[in-house]
Structure 1
């Protein structure tokens, strides 16, 4: 284990379910990536850049539900503003996205 956090630290992280509604190539990114547009229900639409091109095609990602951190500050990546961070398990150089087993309402919190 790296750093021990308290439960209070954990509750500061806002993890939500969203559905990917648009996927575009991101040729300006340093490493191969997609630009994603994600629907978080009542929280609105957010954008994210994700280096997940080795395991996922654009067609596979469209309408896929994912888990993301939605309360990070925006981050500029090339000419793109990333507004949330998708969560995934790292397997070597690949990232396997975390997603709910069953369909969940967009914006649902992870507890």
Structure 2
């Protein structure tokens, strides 16, 4: 069953466009994952752990623009501090990254 939220609830979620500038394997993660460094322009560079290894190779992720939620509290995953949540569509256990159709400025707000 879907959970109904108000528009005011939605406006609390700060989603931004960022460009992945570094991708590393994350062997200490519970499930296969990458450690991503993402450039959000004037908002700075943030790190995220992403369980996207089944569909994406590291080389294909580098310089790719993505959508991420940037106003969650930081979360420690093993020895890594994740500071944003990369957004994707989930089918079975695969995550398909959401991204802009054309290149946009890093840090642009998604609404």
Structure 2 counterparts to residues 1-111 of structure 1, below 5 A: 1-111=1-111
Task: Using structure 2 for the length normalisation, give the TM-score.
Answer: 0.99
RMSD across aligned positions (CA): 0.6
Task: Report the alpha carbon displacement of residue 92 of structure 1 after superposing the two structures with TM.
Answer: 1.0
Task: Using structure 1 for the length normalisation, give the TM-score.
Answer: 0.99
**Structure-2 separation of matches of 1:60 and 1:78:** 25
Structure 1: where are the runs of 5+ without partners? none
SS of the equivalent of 2:59 reads: helix
Structure 2: where are the runs of 5+ without partners? none
**Structure-1 separation of matches of 2:3 and 2:52:** 26
**Structure-1 separation of matches of 2:92 and 2:76:** 26
**Structure-2 separation of matches of 1:61 and 1:91:** 19
**Structure-1 separation of matches of 2:21 and 2:90:** 24
**Structure-1 separation of matches of 2:73 and 2:2:** 23
SS of the equivalent of 2:106 reads: coil
TM-superposition CA deviations, 1:69-93 (whole Å, max 9, x none): 0000000000000000000000111
Number of aligned pairs?
Answer: 111
